[in-house]
């Protein structure tokens, strides 16, 4: 559980309330400028910044304690406190009177540190405490937090001494006072601090901000002309109707193409190796006479004709005049859910109006079966008692950091008729994911 001090929570609500009060007062202040609303807002801003400083200082303190922590109880307690400090700082930052650009690196560090701690809340207690690698990562985060806390504390002192003044939106949009013209504002001081901020380390863990190496496994790079031919063949139209829009090389090479298709225009994305990653058709699809089942069969036949075989349909539904289908590959009877292909079929003429195989192309590979998979009876015990649960067999899920979790999926219904899918990790025997119907 995330833990935020009661004082912090109360102040967060107060600061956000002060901002609302000031915005209302600013409207009144355009007619009566007695300064009361502005003074209230500035007081709230000052205390919001003070609470940011306090939260970061607490974060620094907690991260330094991690070097001495042992056992599952202490590690879980410290990780929960890190999450709370990061969340408290982020919430109070939102009440400050300037954009996030002035605190971009600060906000980024808080996001990464909080998410890393959240991941350790799941894994460290199971492992009996922090591993040596995790301690090293926490130590580096602590070094960064110490620098941040020192600089923010110095800024707070400059505000108290009058060397730096709090940003005042009223002075920014109306006639500036002499003080506002000649003094350094907090936003300007924050920008200077951010520019001098030390380079932050890349985190390697199973979470949202994990470091991912660039995609170098693109295969043989094809020419623009070959990519256009592939797109034309994929769509079943002449190559003359495919035009290059632009080439993106900021990450993996991508060719962005336009396709002149009947009754509209299509947009195609091809990978550097020439594989078609996605297509979308601009035609407005009217209601048609095809059934959803017919649309699903048409989608599967289209994919098979383009080399996508060994797939199973995991969902299909009508949306407007189209059948929206999701297919995944099956390996040894195991559904590989991250390797999804999404395709929409127009129910008036059976044509493809959208296709997306990007996740399939990014994730699909032969998957190694982990050792020690539990039998079905060993995972069913993780379900809440009283559910009606039917096993859908083994499947592979993707974790937050891009890893794989082998699970057994159960279609569950409670006594009130609420339906959901529960995924139980087939290695650990613990619930991995719950998906409401």
Domain boundaries, the chain: 6-195, 224-363, 376-436
pLDDT of residue 174: 42
Pick the range with the lowest mean pLDDT from 246-255, 317-326, 361-370: 246-255
pLDDT of 19 > 80? The answer is no
Distance CA 426, CA 380 (A): 10
Percent of the chain exceeding pLDDT 90 equals 40
pLDDT for res 125: 75
Predicted confidence at residue 344, as pLDDT, reads 95
**What is the chain's mean pLDDT, rounded?**
82
pLDDT tens digit sequence for 360-382? 998 898 888 998 899 999 999 99
Higher-pLDDT residue of 79 and 205 is 79
Residue 300 in this model has a pLDDT that exceeds 70? yes
Task: Report whether pLDDT(63) > 50.
Answer: yes
Report whether pLDDT(249) > 90.
Answer: no
The predicted structure's pLDDT at residue 204: 77
- Average pLDDT of 278-295? 89
Q: Any alpha helices (H) in 324-404, and if so which ranges?
A: 358-363, 376-380
Cα distance from N-terminal residue to C-terminal residue, the chain: 26
Check whether 12 has a pLDDT greater than 60: no
| pLDDT of amino acid 316 | 94
Least confident of 10-19, 49-58, 159-168, 403-412: 10-19
CB 73 within 8 A of CB 112: no
* 36 band by pLDDT with thresholds 50, 70 and 90: low
Topology at the third CATH level for domain 376-436: Nuclear Transport Factor 2; Chain: A, (3.10.450)
Q: What is the mean pLDDT of residues 177-198?
A: 70
**What pLDDT score does 1 carry?**
45
Residue 2 pLDDT greater than 60, yes or no: no
- Asked if the model's pLDDT at residue 399 lies above 90, the reply is no
**The pLDDT of residue 42:** 59
Q: Is the pLDDT of residue 173 over 50?
A: no
Residue 324: predicted pLDDT: 95
**DSSP H or E segment with residue 12:** helix 6-29
Residue 406: pLDDT over 90 = yes
Residue 196: is it exposed, middle or buried by C-beta count within 10 angstroms (0-12/13-18/19+)?
A: exposed
Contact assessment for residue 75 and residue 123, using Cβ atoms and an 8 Å cutoff: no
pLDDT confidence bin for 425, thresholds 50/70/90: very high
Question: What token pair was written down for 346?
Answer: 């127009």
Q: Report the pLDDT value the prediction gives residue 175, as an integer from 0 to 100.
A: 45
Quote the pLDDT of residue 34: 46
Is pLDDT above 60 for 217?
no
Long-range contacts of 26-31 (CB under 8 A, 24+ apart): 26/169, 26/170, 29/170
pLDDT range class, residue 211, cuts 50, 70, 90 = low
- Asked if residues 396 and 404 have their Cβ atoms less than 8 Å apart, the reply is yes
Q: pLDDT-derived band of residue 97, with 50, 70 and 90 as boundaries?
A: confident
Reported confidence tier of residue 270, pLDDT bands at 50, 70, 90: very high
The one-character DSSP state at 240 is G
Position 180 pLDDT exceeds 70: no
**pLDDT band, very low/low/confident/very high, at 43 (cuts 50, 70, 90):** low
* Alpha-carbon span 134 to 115, nearest angstrom: 14
Output phi, psi for 405, to 5 deg. -125, 115
- Point out the least confidently predicted range of 39-43, 139-143, 222-226, 259-263: 39-43
Residues of the chain with pLDDT > 70, as a percent, come to: 81
Question: What is the predicted pLDDT for the residue at 148?
Answer: 87
Q: 171 pLDDT exceeds 70? A: no
CA distances for 269 relative to 116, 245, 247, 282, 358, angstroms:
34, 10, 10, 15, 9
- Pairwise pLDDT comparison (28 vs 158), residue with the higher score: 158
* Rounded average pLDDT over 102-117: 84
Phi, psi angles (nearest 5°) of residue 357: -115, 20
Q: Which residues 6+ apart lie within 8 Å of 38 measured at CB?
A: 22, 25, 26, 29, 168, 170
Greater confidence (5 vs 166) lies with 166
User: pTM to 2 decimals?
Assistant: 0.62
């Amino acid at each position: 559980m995330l833990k935020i001090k009661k004082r912090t929570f109360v102040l967060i609500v107060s600061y956000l309330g002060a901002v609302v009060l000031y915005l209302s007062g600013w409207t009144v202040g355009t007619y009566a400028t007695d300064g009361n609303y502005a003074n209230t807002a500035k007081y709230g801003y000052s205390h919001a910044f003070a609470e940011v400083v306090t939260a970061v200082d607490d974060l620094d303190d907690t991260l330094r304690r991690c070097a001495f922590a042992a056992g599952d109880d202490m590690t879980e307690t410290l990780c929960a406190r890190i999450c709370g400090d990061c969340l408290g700082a982020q919430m109070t930052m939102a009440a400050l009177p300037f954009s996030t650009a002035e605190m971009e690196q600060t906000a980024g560090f808080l996001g990464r540190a909080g998410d890393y701690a959240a991941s350790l809340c799941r894994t460290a207690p199971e492992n009996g405490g922090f591993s040596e690698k995790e301690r090293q990562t926490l130590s580096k985060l602590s070094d960064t937090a110490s620098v941040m806390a020192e600089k923010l504390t110095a800024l707070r002192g400059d505000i108290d001494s009058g060397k730096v003044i709090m940003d005042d939106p009223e002075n920014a949009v109306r006639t500036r006072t002499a003080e506002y013209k000649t003094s350094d504002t907090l936003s300007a001081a924050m920008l200077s601090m951010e520019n001098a901020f030390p380079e932050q380390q890349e985190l390697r863990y199973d979470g949202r901000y994990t470091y991912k190496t660039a995609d170098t496994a693109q295969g043989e790079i094809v020419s623009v002309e070959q990519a256009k031919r592939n797109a034309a063949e994929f769509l079943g139209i002449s190559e003359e109707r495919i035009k290059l829009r632009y080439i993106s090389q900021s990450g993996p090479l991508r060719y962005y193409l336009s396709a002149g298709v009947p009754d509209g225009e299509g947009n195609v994305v091809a990978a550097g190796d020439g594989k078609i990653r996605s297509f979308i058709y601009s035609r407005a699809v009217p209601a048609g006479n095809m059934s959803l089942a017919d649309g699903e069969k048409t989608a599967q036949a289209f994919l098979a004709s383009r080399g996508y075989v060994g797939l199973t349909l995991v969902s299909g539904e009508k949306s407007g005049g189209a059948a929206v289908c999701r297919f995944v590959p099956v390996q040894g009877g195991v559904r590989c859910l991250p390797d999804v292909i999404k395709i929409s079929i127009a129910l008036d003429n059976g044509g493809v109006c959208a296709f997306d195989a990007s996740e399939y192309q990014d994730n699909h590979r032969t998957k190694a079966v982990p050792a020690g998979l539990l039998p079905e009876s060993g995972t069913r015990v993780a379900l809440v008692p009283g559910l009606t649960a039917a096993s859908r067999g083994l499947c592979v899920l993707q974790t937050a950091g891009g890893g794989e979790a082998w699970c057994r999926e159960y279609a569950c219904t409670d006594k009130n008729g609420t339906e959901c899918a529960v995924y139980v990790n087939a290695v650990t025997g613990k619930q991995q994911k719950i998906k409401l119907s």
